[in-house]
Structure 1
Amino acid sequence: MKSSLFLTFIIAASLWLNSCQKSQPSYELYEEGQEISIPKAKLQDKIKGGWAGQVIGCTYGGPTEFRFNGTMIGDHIPIPWDENQMLWWYENVPGLYDDVYMDLTFVDIFEKYGLDAPDSLHALAFAHAEYQLWHANQAARYNILNGMMPPASGFWKNNPHSDDIDFQIEADFAGLMAPGMVNAAADIGNRIGHIMNYGDGVYGGIYVAAMYALAFVHDDMEFIVEEALKTIPKESEFHQCITDVIQWYRQYPDDWKRNWFEVQKKWSFDRGCPDGVFKAFNIDAKINAAYIVIGLLYGKGDYGKTIDIATRCGQDSDCNPANAGGILGTMIGYSNIPDYWKQGIDKVEDMNFKFTDMSLNKVYEVGMKHALEMASRNGGRVEGDNVVLPYQKPKTMPLEIGFEGIYPTRRMNLSKNLNTANQEIAFKIKGKGLVITGEAVKDASKEHDNLLINVWIDGKLHEEVKMPTSFQSRKHEIFWFYDLGEGEHEIRLEAKYIPQGYQVNVREALLYSSINPGNQNY
């Protein structure tokens, strides 16, 4: 009897000790301003890991980008990887790396004009760059080229794509130049993110940058994911979405697909993007950030598993593994990315990204320079072969909510053209706002031109719209306005300047109401 009681006591004590051990964090908790010494070579290795990890992840996901919308990529579907993958994409489809060369636009401005370079220089550099843009980036480019500078260029009433993924995919640089300095990374992200985004769209970039900054000084991915989220206001949908992913991870720690299904059920709606509302296509920042986090959590530190899961979540399946691969690459360092995933990178590290004068080897060097400068201005320093980094505990950014108080209700098919033969299109709507989609086009024999349309609302001239035929400077949508009085309205589009051989294709009207249609997601 005594031996049985003793055995029961030993088992209970063992279980109690085990639970105590599990409750202890596997990461070191630093205080605000605490100095962290890291070998200079290790810091360089982490910066290389961030940039290289981003390129590897982007390349791996390239073949599947937006080919699986609203569905995951099944395990039975092969995704190729070999020593020639990166070189092939560099040489044949360099536009795949838009998230990288957009990063490098901002890196280049910091390099030329210093870390205090005004936002206007960043905005003008990307607006006048040779590369093509889409969504929030292109809407902001049009705004900037026509005199609307940030933050107005990214504000949701001026940019229907303001909640899209754009800054999220190009914010890596902000974290890589601020090792351990999460608030410095968030501040840079907040400034530059407002060039093209607002609200959740900016938060996506801040969150990614914060995870990078923390990945320099922590080696627990669960902690990094949660700690970085402290930079985002809890009232935002972005914070709520990522919080759900973390909670579902705890509930289903070995089943990333179950987590994906829960995200899909609750967060797959899109309120803003005219290309995604009521469609399977979804370039919204928060759901694609959810896929990044699913990859980071369920990858459990395994590089290949991390980028594979982030890719197989679908949607923007090159940019999401690029972010995930870069964050994990920063945490483990370039030297610890498995050789299998680095195969072929030596073939491209000296090649400039298209539209830039910068290669991976160059950005490794410049990135280290900027990180040391950022450390110095925040109280850090170089001591021999070590770098002393001043640790920062996350501070929450101010709350911004885009598309507040309006709800999409209908996609109205228009399918008409404005040209010399058809000078007017009129239709009626019911609601508080609308977005009219379409584009300006020209005959092959014609030069590019800026077409002009008058938009009349309820018999009054509301706006003269300039529609460039050039893809580079195009207006992403014809017209939008979210501040109509709730009710019935008559819309009329009038050709003001559309010469022979040119036309404006008017495709759809996306309607909004101030009345919630009852969808619980809203």
Structure 2
Amino acid sequence: MKKLVSWSLFLIVVVGFIAPKPQPTYVSMSKEKLRDKIKGGWAGQVIGCTFGGPTEFQFNGTMINDYQKIPWYDGYIKHSMMSSPSLYDDLYMDLTFVDVFEKHGLDAPVEAHAKAYANSEYRLWHANQVGRYNILHGLKAPESGHWLNNPHADDIDFQIEADFSGLMAPGMPNTAAKIGDGIGHIMNYGDGWYGGVYVGAMYSLAFVSKDINYVVKEALKTIPAQSTFYQCINDVIGWHAKYPNDWKKTWFEVQRKWADEAGCPMGVYSAYDIDAKINAAYIVIGLLYGNGDFTKTMEISTRCGQDSDCNPSSAAGILGTMIGYDQISSYWKLGLKEAEDVDFRYTTMSLNDVYDIGLKHALQMIERNGGKVSDKDVTLAVQKPQAVRLEQGFTGHFPVSVKPIQKELTNEYSFEVDGIGFVLRGNAEPVKVDIANDKANVHVFDAELYIDDKLVEKAKLPTSFRLRRHELFWKYQLPKGKHAVRVKVLNPDPGYVVRMVSLITYDNKPHAHPE
């Protein structure tokens, strides 16, 4: 019996060793067509972001009704870029990483990306801001994005800035995931990272397929089926099959099953939802029900609400990659030409610049990954999507209460937590805020966190908005039970204040009313 087992193992090893690896499918196209698709991807993002800008987080937990007109006019894109530069965080965040690749090569270390992003002049929110704070205070990726260190780890941040990874990797979703792995974990983890993996994969596959249903379904193979992100998007695909002509029915199903927020402190017990998976669901609703129509795709993704500039930006970017720049309706390119030479705020890069740089990087990635590049044509070695590793944040943590505080932390403040974790929301700021000159708002509070009379953390609380700590304190995975918590400020200053807003408590299961 032992000999039989040994021979069986030997044969498995030998067969596994000599069995040929699955060969990629090869797709050829002209360099000009590749460039047109890359241009379509970047231009689509700008168009979608501009279109959805006025409604961003104005419709939370509700859709934007059909009778509510969303404006569009000639010159709107340039006007928005000049007057509302922060609207384009989708773009200038992408371009931060593109610029690092351009300056340091395609093997640029994650540390270079983290340094460029953390030291940038633009304002950030949510997972991006926590990641920036963590990097600036010595916590490196991937710990900077891990949910134990980042209450916003499941937020949309990497999802809205992962477009570059797919545009760099035409037909290569696994390569796109690899490009985005280290970068995505600067600010996200789990579902937050998966949002970027999925969006990057859809961009990548949009180069080699004109079937939006195929792109949506095939890209999902990059996400572990055990994850809640996969389950949410898979539900959307199923509901689209069940209600093929009514996107609003699918929207209601998403709202019913997936709208509860556990991570982002701003979204707990609130209609506000910046979670990656539900906003990715809105991207997919737009793509599936838009069915290749640029206008319908943008309209639907926008009208789903919540992050209604980022979602149509991703949807329009993916579809723009699929159909190419030249096939985007002239209506949606009104005024685009005059905006293509305008540098995005906080960067030295315009759309025309990134069209060229994007093509350059894509050609390099094609050659690196089994494809071929000639004078006029390219051959893509198309990859079969493979699931990335499984990781899930906030497991076993259920928000059970949100209590308002609305007090200033002048010296110390004590409270009790009954559960396994908490987030103390609040902010440090000048008494008189100088919005125009954030560098004038400079003071750094030294603060301490005690749990059950033990010092568990010393933290810096900068009053600069750009450098701020997004939440004052948080702690997860506490032993279940009651805990005495105390926070202290060691260096109060009459010109600055620490405001405590609310306390969120987590337990290991939802709390139900007694019978």
After TM superposition, the score normalised by the length of structure 2 is: 0.93
> Residue 207 of structure 2 aligns to which amino acid in structure 1?
F
8 Å CA contact 2:49, 2:309 repeated in 1: yes
Q: Which residue of 1 aligns with 2:460?
A: 466
User: For residue 90 of structure 2, what is the aligned residue in structure 1?
Assistant: 99
Q: 1:454 aligns with which of 433, 443, 448?
A: 448
Q: Tell me the residue number matched to 2:9.
A: none
- Which residue in 2 is equivalent to 1:189? 180
1:440 paired to 2:428: yes
1:509 aligns with 2:503: yes
CA contact (8 A) 2:429 2:441 kept: no
Task: Tell me the residue number matched to 1:429.
Answer: 417
Instruction: Look up the match of 2:8.
Output: none
Distance 2:456 2:170 in 1: 49
Q: 1:32 and 1:289, CA in 2 relative to 1: closer, same or farther beyond 3 A?
A: farther
Q: In 1, distance between residues paired with 2:347 and 2:462?
A: 25
Answer yes or no: is 1:477 the counterpart of 2:479.
Answer: no
Question: Which runs of structure 2 are paired with 1:61-460 in the superposition (5 Å)?
Answer: 61-419=52-410, 423-444=411-432, 448-460=442-454
Provide the secondary structure at the position in 2 that maps to 1:103.
helix
Unpaired segments of 5 or more residues in structure 1?
1-30
- Tell me the residue number matched to 1:486: 480
Letter in 1 for 2:135: I
User: What's the secondary structure of 1:384's corresponding residue?
Assistant: coil
Provide the secondary structure at the position in 1 that maps to 2:209: coil
What SS does the corresponding residue of 1:466 show, helix, strand or coil? strand
Q: What code does the residue aligned with 1:472 have?
A: R
The one-letter code sitting in structure 1 at the alignment partner of 2:323 is I
Secondary structure, in 3 states, of the residue corresponding to 1:67? coil
Quote the sequence identity (%).
57
1:328/1:224 Cα in 2 relative to 1: closer, same or farther (>3 Å)?
Answer: same
Q: CA deviation at 1:404?
A: 1.0
Q: Relative to structure 2, which stretch is displaced further, 490-499 or 363-372? A: 490-499
The offset of 1:175, in angstroms, is 0.1
CA distance in 2, matches of 1:363, 1:229: 27
Q: Which residue pairs with 2:17 in the alignment? A: none
Secondary structure of the corresponding residue to residue 331 of structure 2: helix
Match of 2:414, as an amino acid? A
* Cα deviation code 1:18-62 (max 9, x no counterpart): xxxxxxxxxxxxx74222111111000000000000100000000
- Give the stretch that moved more between structures: 410-419 or 275-284: 410-419
1:270 CA drift (Å): 0.8
* Shift of residue 518, structure 1, vs aligned partner: 6.2
Task: Provide Cα deviations, 1:442-480, integer angstroms capped at 9, x if missing partner.
Answer: 233975111012212112222222100000100000001
Q: 1:447 to 1:207 in 2, by over 3 A?
A: closer
Say whether the 8 Å CA contact 1:441–1:469 is kept in structure 2: yes
- Which segments of structure 1 move beyond 6 Å, counting only runs of 4 or more? none
Q: Shift in Å at residue 366 of structure 1?
A: 0.2
Aligned residues: 486
Instruction: Give the AA of the match of 2:494.
Output: Q
Q: Judge which range, 88-97 or 282-291, deviates more.
A: 88-97
Aligned partner of residue 69 in structure 2, secondary structure: coil
Rounded to whole Å, the distance in 2 between the matches of 1:365 and 1:462 is: 50
Distance 1:32 1:435, change over 3 A: farther
Task: Give me the whole-angstrom Cα distance separating, in 1, the residues matched to 2:193 and 2:148.
Answer: 15
Deviations 1:404-450 (A, max 9, x none): 1111110011111122xxx2211112111100000011233975111
Question: Secondary structure of 1:186's match?
Answer: helix
In structure 1, C-alpha distance between the alignment counterparts of 2:166 and 2:192, rounded to whole Å: 17
Which moved further from structure 2: 446-455 or 228-237? 446-455
Provide the residue aligned with 2:28 in structure 1: 37
Deviation at 1:382, TM superposition (A): 1.4
Which residue type is aligned with residue 334 of structure 1? Y
Deviations 1:328-359 (A, max 9, x none): 00000000000011111011000000000100
How has the CA–CA distance of structure 1 residues 247 and 143 changed in structure 2, closer, same or farther, with 3 Å as cutoff?
same
Letter in 2 for 1:394: P
The answer (yes or no) to whether the contact 2:441–2:464 under 8 Å persists in 1 is no
- 1:369 shift after superposition: 0.2
Give, in angstroms, the shift of residue 322 of structure 1: 0.1
For the Cα contact (< 8 Å) 1:68–1:315, is it kept in 2? yes
The secondary structure found in structure 2 opposite 1:339 is coil
